[in-house]
């Protein structure tokens, strides 16, 4: 954990060694096509602020319009850090028909209650936007998998020992994503598909089951690596039942088998 922390992998700062490592992974480990076709963006979203807008039923468009993304370019053995408006960046990349991989940091995803106080827990997630025949398909990955369906609420901290739960008709993750995609669709001409179902939302195994350290921040980087390796090519797995060939991620995601990828 200390080594990961020293590399900035558990930090909400995007100007970090971990972000640079992700860029180098793309340059050195991705297939040639994925290296050329994929854009990596980092962004942070304050979920508490979003939920307040949702509760008031106003300000959601302004909330999304204010979000920024960060990215690195690497040329002549030098990193250059860029910060840009998120929605405009996404719209531009969609016009270029790029695959868009967003690493998302949330400083106030859930809460932890102790005897002395209540604190917000940060979380790391990723969003993958893929060109399709009718626009783009948007896929959302939370390492907690199927357990996101138990979070049909958002908890606001009111004081050191008091909190308030806001009931939601759907999981908080799905509501956030639906509103984000709605805003993108209202802002540009390219249609983005996302309906909250398992076709677009990872609901597989809870990858953090038994995790007592809170290593959610490492999963977007792992997903990034395997996405670049196996989105356009199949992989072969050796098991006690023999060799199993897994179809390319592109095929699995197109067929709705998102969890298998």
- 116-149 residue pLDDT tens: 999 999 999 999 999 999 999 999 999 888 999 9
Which of the four pLDDT bands, split at 50, 70 and 90, describes residue 9? low
Q: Would the pTM count as exceeding 0.95?
A: no
What is d(CA 2, CA 7) in angstroms, rounded to the nearest whole number?
A: 9
Segment holding 252, helix H or strand E: helix 249-254
pLDDT over 60 (residue 2): yes
* Phi, psi of 33, deg, nearest 5: -65, -40
User: What is the spatial distance between Cα 28 and Cα 32, in angstroms, rounded to a whole number?
Assistant: 9
pLDDT digits (tens, 9 = 90+) for 15-72: 678 889 999 999 999 989 999 999 999 999 999 999 999 999 999 999 999 999 999 9
What are the distances in angstroms from CA 224 to CA 11, 21, 37, 62, 250? Answer: 17, 11, 14, 29, 14
Which residues, other chains included, contact 93 with Cβ-Cβ below 8 Å and sequence gap of 6+? 39, 100
Cβ contact 41:101 at 8 Å: yes
pLDDT at 257: 80
209 pLDDT above the threshold of 90: no
208 pLDDT tier (thresholds 50, 70, 90): low
Residue 1 has pLDDT above 60, yes or no: no
User: How many CB atoms within 10 Å of residue 146?
Assistant: 15
pLDDT of residue 76: 86
Contacts of 65 (CB under 8 A, 6+ apart): 85, 87, 183
Instruction: Report which of 243, 213, 238, 224 is spatially closest to residue 121, judged by C-alpha positions.
Output: 213
The secondary element (H helix, E strand) that includes residue 157 is strand 153-157
Check residue 13 and give its pLDDT.
67
Per the model's pLDDT, the better-predicted residue between 143 and 4 turns out to be 143
């Amino acid at each position: 954990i200390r080594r990961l922390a020293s590399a900035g992998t558990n930090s909400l700062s995007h100007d970090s060694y971990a972000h640079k490592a992700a860029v180098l992974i793309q340059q050195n480990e991705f297939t040639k096509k994925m290296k050329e076709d994929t854009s990596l963006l980092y962004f942070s979203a304050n979920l508490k602020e979003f939920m307040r807008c949702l509760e008031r039923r106003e300000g959601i468009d302004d909330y999304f319009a204010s979000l920024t993304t960060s990215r690195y370019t690497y040329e002549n053995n030098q990193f250059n850090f860029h910060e840009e408006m998120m929605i405009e960046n996404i719209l531009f990349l969609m016009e270029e028909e790029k695959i868009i991989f967003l690493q998302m940091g949330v400083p106030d995803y859930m809460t932890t209650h102790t005897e002395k106080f209540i604190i917000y827990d940060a979380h790391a997630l990723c969003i993958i936007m893929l060109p399709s025949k009718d626009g783009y398909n948007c896929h959302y990955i939370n390492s907690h998998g199927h357990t996101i369906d138990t979070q049909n609420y958002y908890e606001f901290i009111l004081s050191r020992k008091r909190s308030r739960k806001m009931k939601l008709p759907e999981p908080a993750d799905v509501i956030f994503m639906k509103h984000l995609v709605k805003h993108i669709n209202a802002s540009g001409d390219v249609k983005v598909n996302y309906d909250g179902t398992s076709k677009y939302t990872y609901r597989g195994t809870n990858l953090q089951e038994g995790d007592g350290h809170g290593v959610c921040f490492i999963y977007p980087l792992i997903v990034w690596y395997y996405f670049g390796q196996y989105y356009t090519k199949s992989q072969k797995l050796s098991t006690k039942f023999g060799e199993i060939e897994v179809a390319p991620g592109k095929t699995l995601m197109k067929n709705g088998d998102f969890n298998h990828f």
